[in-house]
Amino acid sequence: MQQSMEPSEAGHFQKYHIASSLLAVTQEAPLKIKKEKKIIRVGIPRESSSQERRVPLTPAVVRVLVNNGAEVYVEHDAGLDAGFLDKNYADAGAFIAYSKLEVFEKADIVVKIERPNYQEIEYLRNRQILISALHLGSLTSEFLKAIIQKNITAIGYEFLRGEDGSIPIMQMMSEIAGINAIHIAAELMTANKGGKGMLLGGVTGVPPSVVTIIGAGTVGLNAARSALALGATVKVLDEEVYKLRRLEEKLGVKIYTAVAQPQFIKEAVLSSDVIIGAIYRPGQKTPCMVSEELIAQMKEGSIAIDIAIDQGGCFETSKPTTHENPVFVKHGVIHYCVPNIASRVPHTGSIALSNILGNIILKIINFGGIGVLQHSTTIKNGIYTHHKHITNKYLAKIFGMDYIDINLLHASNF
């Protein structure tokens, strides 16, 4: 067998294989150098606050990220309170880190539930991506300045918004909060919890309790649905008539609804055994809807549950409480104002949150980092600091700080 090589007109080389009387000609293709995909490292630190029992990513979602080429670092016992063990994460392909610092040092993307505390901010590195809630009700300008100084691309759960206007994480957490609120109200109304000693729905021959919900969004819808299922009389107020109409359509029944004007609010609140604050304005603090004067006129032993406390609260008497001490009494009214109400059911809350965050992080991984901005409106809307600038106009307005549009920053690669 004889073999020789001659240059072709295209400048490549051809191999001629001569075997017996058969001439076989094959042309070698030019060598293609495949660009290696960047490995994105995801870090899941354990939440520092004892009030937060959720974990942002479950082992099932971690497995998906690992299968798509990511490395995931989970701090020891990060998922324990939500029912997920280190072994579950290790079996999914994650690395278990035994210090919070190690997680922050390894990660390109740090994923949390609560916003980082000041020690965690110190751990953050230049150009890392941070994904967490912000909790506007307790947010400070000092926190924002610290994040800006670190040159972090920060994404807030509250700001993630799709092209259709949906706010996926907040809607999911609101669904859990709305259902939870009615369970909590039913418990607090019992005599051993200091309430009126009433069933929320009553029984045959005994009038049901009256529940007034201020806010006809996702929280209001799920609270109303749960309260109706227990047999309570439900009233819903909102600033927008179309939201009230939409809520009734989804419930499939006619209920008492009214526009949230002072007179209607007063009439509804004073006739109620339970009031639930569920007003939500994306990216903004919640307006006060019920004055202290009105709270003082409610029947003794009534219940006030302020789900909007994360965003500042919509009752004038509200102040944040904890899971260990969830209630306080003012003017004879029992107040429940736990900011992270979804953490009351950490297993369910973690799975619900992880289902949404997993897709967001997967997009970042597939596009090799922050280049995903060109392809994801949801992620772009979620960013509130980038390249040492605030990129969310609502935050800038609240704190009187400068604002630069994310599109301009990204386009200029500033």
Q: Give the separation between CA 23 and CA 174, rounded to whole angstroms.
A: 73
Q: Which of 81, 310, 335, 386 is catalytic?
A: 310
Residue 310 annotated among the catalytic residues of the structure: yes
Structure tokens at 301: 């032993």
SS3 of 301-369: the string is CCEEEEHHHHHCCCECCCCCCCCCCCEEEECCEEEECCCCHHHHCHHHHHHHHHHHHHHHHHHHHHCCC
Residue 91 annotated among the catalytic residues of the structure: no
Structure tokens at 214: 């201020």
> Please, what's the largest Cα pairwise distance for the chain?
107
Q: Give the separation between CA 181 and CA 307, rounded to whole angstroms.
A: 8
From 159, 82, 155, 166, select the one nearest 115 (Cα to Cα): 155
Distance of CA 116 to the CA centre of its chain: 14
Q: Give the separation between CA 101 and CA 119, rounded to whole angstroms.
A: 10
Question: DSSP of 226-243, one letter per residue?
Answer: HHHHHT-EEEEEES-HHH
The H or E element that residue 41 is part of is strand 41-44
Q: Which of 135, 335, 386, 410 is catalytic?
A: 135
218-230 and 168-188 helices, crossing angle to 10°? 30
Active site residues per annotation: 135, 310
